[in-house]
Amino acid sequence: MMVSLLPGISGCVLENRTVSTVLDTLGVGGAYPLPESAGKELNRFDAVYARYASHRDDEQLRHFSDTFRRVRVNYVEPLEDAALIDAAITGVESLEGELASFEPRDVVEAGLDGMMASLDPHSSYMNPREFQESQVSTRGQFGGLGIEITQENDIIKVVSPIEDTPAFEVGIQAGDLITHVNGEDIRGKGISYAVNLLRGAPGTAVVVTIERAAVDAFDVSIVRAIIKVRSVKWRVEGDIGYIRVNRFTERVEPGIVDAMNDIRAQLGMNLSGIVLDLRNNPGGLLDQSLILSDAFLEDGKIVSIRGRDEDGSERSHSASPGDMAPGLPIVVLINGGSASASEIVAGALQDHGRATILGERSFGKGSVQTITPLPVEGALRLTTARYYAPSGRVIQARGIMPDIVLLHDEEEGEFTREVDLPHALDSAGEELSRDVPTIAASSCDGDAENEDPDLVCALMFLHTESSAEFLSSVGVSPES
């Protein structure tokens, strides 16, 4: 779900369907008919619904039934009907209050939330408000604090702050834990509850309590604002073009064109290489990752996508002719916060030998979420496939391993990765391990005033003739 505060990391495809096609899913004879056994499971939910709802609303019951049908047919892995309904019932039973006192919409939403929470960390039900906000955020402009959050062990955790936003400006960091909002303890209350408290009108302030490794808990006041995410930033570093992609919104395509045009206008024939910085980029729109990959490839497969079809069929996306930096070496920077769409780009450029990957192993989110508007209200964000790098290697739960690993100080802490999240999908493939050289990021000899050692390493690498020469220059044998 991509809103002003992001409870998860995304890599989504929005499914556009006509109203007539969507409405066809209503009723037993629609596009998702149920076997008798599944119908009996739905009857179990109906019985619980009848105990909690203040009155019967057939439209809301059809809403639940339609969503259940879609999940059981389209999820990336086969599911047990009974387990789905058990999770939905648990969601309803978590409602606090008198029986037969809840609005039907609230009962159904609790059921859908419970059902989706039993799947992987990236599948969810979006009510109408959440769906509307998700559409706004993928366009690169939305209201809020400018942080992306997830839930870990009942505690809200910051995945990353978005650059040039209120949260970023006050010093919120990846890995921070949010325990209180305006003095209220939010531990164990769920991510939706936290999001509702953190949201608010632009110009208003919210006080969050932060727990951070090696320091005492502290409060910080953040003034909400309209978040305008500049997806692509760039500058010139000597004779190198530096391009940072913060997230994959609809603005990536024009952004990369503007970046390359401006860098070439500044450097002309003196341009000797490109640094593509994808660190802490949590992903976003799948099509934008294909566009960015294609920008630096002449041909070849970018990514393949495989669902749960028994015939093993897959969809693949390939590059079209035209490299925006022909003949120029490229370094891609990644870390544990580089996820989903970022991993597609890094994997494609690495497998085709088009770029050298420097940094840390990436997050490991190798799944695709399809966002489907539902016929009654809201939308379903469902994991429908895994994606694979051009070589066929698995990204899910493993991530992209750099060609050269950059080590950092221990006090910086470890990233939480996909494999650490509750209910994370497994890799569904054989792991191919390989030894890669490892260096301390601080060992790169560059501008002493540059506080970004990874970038210093990337620039240094581009000014050498080969990986072997670079490793030798930092005192590491290429064979080690």
User: Beta strand pairing status for 301-306 and 379-388?
Assistant: antiparallel
> Are the CB atoms for 191 and 149 separated by under 8 Å?
yes
Cite the active site residues.
340, 351, 365
Q: Smallest Cα–Cα separation from 34: which of 62, 84, 78, 72?
A: 72
The DSSP secondary-structure symbol of 248 reads B
Q: Smallest Cα–Cα separation from 275: which of 241, 246, 248, 252?
A: 241
175/167 Cα distance (integer angstroms)? 13
Element (H, E) at 200: none
Side chain identity, residue 114 = G
12/112 Cα distance (integer angstroms)? 20
Residue 4 has pLDDT above 80, yes or no: no
Q: What is the pLDDT of residues 266-292, one digit of tens each?
A: 999 999 999 999 999 989 889 999 999
Q: What is the pLDDT of residues 462-473, one digit of tens each?
A: 999 899 999 998
Element (H, E) at 229: none
Secondary structure E strands in 269-394 = 273-277, 284-285, 301-306, 315-318, 330-334, 356-359, 367-373, 379-388
- Tokens standing for residue 231: 């997806």
213/157 Cα distance (integer angstroms)? 12
The DSSP secondary-structure symbol of 315 reads E
359/366 Cα distance (integer angstroms)? 19
- Helix, strand, or coil (residue 141): strand
| Choice between 362 and 213, residue whose per-residue pLDDT is larger | 362
Question: What is the percent of the chain with per-residue pLDDT over 90, rounded to a whole number?
Answer: 65
DSSP secondary structure string for all residues of 125-140: EE-HHHHHHHHHHHTT
User: Beta strand pairing status for 330-334 and 273-277?
Assistant: parallel
Confidence of residue 5 (pLDDT cuts 50, 70, 90): very low
Question: What is the percent of the chain with per-residue pLDDT over 70, rounded to a whole number?
Answer: 87
> Are the CB atoms for 332 and 355 separated by under 8 Å?
yes
Domains in the chain (CATH in brackets) are: 5-130 (no CATH), 142-228 (2.30.42.10), 232-473 (3.90.226.10)
User: Beta strand pairing status for 147-152 and 367-373?
Assistant: unpaired
Residue 15 has pLDDT above 50, yes or no: no
- Tokens standing for residue 60: 């809301």
The pLDDT, as a whole number, for residue 409 is: 78
Residue environment code for 182-193, b if the CB has 16+ CB neighbours within 10 A, otherwise e: eeeebeebbbee
Residue 3 has pLDDT above 80, yes or no: no
- Mean confidence (pLDDT) of the chain: 87
Its sign, for the CA torsion 403, 406, 407, 413, is: negative
Residue 343 has pLDDT above 80, yes or no: yes
Listed in sequence order, the DSSP H helices in 268-306 are: 286-294
The pLDDT, as a whole number, for residue 477 is: 72
**What would the mean pLDDT of 100-110 be, rounded to a whole number?**
97
Contacts of 465 (CB under 8 A, 6+ apart): none
DSSP secondary structure string for all residues of 104-115: HHHHHHHHHHHH
| Choice between 37 and 415, residue whose per-residue pLDDT is larger | 37
356/462 Cα distance (integer angstroms)? 10
Mean pLDDT lowest among 31-35, 92-96, 313-317, 387-391: 31-35
The pLDDT, as a whole number, for residue 160 is: 78
Q: How many CA atoms lie within 13 A of 98 on its CB side?
A: 3
* Residues paired with 233 in a beta bridge: 244
